[in-house]
């Protein structure tokens, strides 16, 4: 097992989240996981999954919540602010410029083809991250995560509102974890 990484400074947190946002085409979750778990080793795979699960329950974008919760765990309010600023300032400026450019060039066929072409790459990155996040769960809980994912997928197809999904899936997930975790 690798030794624990030293506690990052606020500046390191800010710069890490700036790096994530500059790399995060197709979504920041894959890049956040790669940095936190594989590169910097600030969290184990299980800790990352637990933190992300917590952020699923909070209002707002999950990964933005994760930046604030992680920063808060490390350095309190100032750590949360450093992560949040690193995560949101650069993308805000880039998206403002992209919005202005899109307004000017959205009718250009090459722009439309580009946007359609990058969607599969983003979906592939998300699926790869899903597989990485699922592995620690399968190791500790056996088939429970697969059953849980199948139920969640079915509910998603039925287009239930998110509060109802959370209301249903929370006790199901706790029950499956308790049942298979005891084996």
Q: What tens digit of pLDDT does each residue of 86-117 get?
A: 999 988 898 899 889 888 887 888 887 887 88
> How many C-beta neighbours within 10 Å does residue 135 have?
11
What are the counts of helices (DSSP H) followed by strands (DSSP E) for the chain? 7, 0
Q: Given this model, what pLDDT does residue 174 score?
A: 80
Residue pair 176/138 in contact (Cβ under 8 Å)? The answer is: no
* Cα 104 from chain centre: 31
Predicted local confidence at residue 157, as pLDDT: 82
Euclidean distance between CA atoms 77 and 66, whole angstroms: 14
Q: For the residues 71-100, what does the mean pLDDT come to?
A: 92
pLDDT value of residue 4: 63
Provide mean pLDDT across the span 6-28: 87
**Token digits of residue 49:** 């999954």
């Amino acid at each position: 097992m690798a030794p624990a990484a030293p506690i990052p400074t606020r500046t390191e947190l800010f710069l890490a989240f700036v790096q994530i946002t500059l790399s995060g085409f197709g979504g920041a979750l894959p890049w956040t996981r790669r940095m936190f778990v594989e590169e910097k080793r600030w969290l184990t795979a299980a800790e990352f999954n637990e933190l992300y699960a917590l952020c699923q329950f909070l209002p707002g974008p999950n990964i933005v919540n994760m930046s604030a919760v992680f920063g808060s765990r490390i350095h309190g309010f100032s750590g949360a602010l450093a992560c949040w600023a690193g995560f949101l300032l650069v993308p805000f400026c880039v998206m403002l410029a992209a919005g202005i450019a899109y307004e000017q060039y959205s009718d250009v066929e090459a722009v439309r083809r580009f946007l359609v072409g990058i969607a599969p790459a983003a979906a592939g990155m998300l699926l790869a991250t899903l597989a990485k996040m699922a592995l620690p769960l399968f190791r500790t809980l056996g088939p429970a995560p697969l059953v849980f994912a199948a139920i969640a997928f079915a509910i998603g197809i039925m287009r239930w509102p998110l509060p109802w999904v959370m209301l249903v899936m929370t006790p199901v997930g706790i029950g499956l974890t308790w049942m298979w975790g005891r084996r």
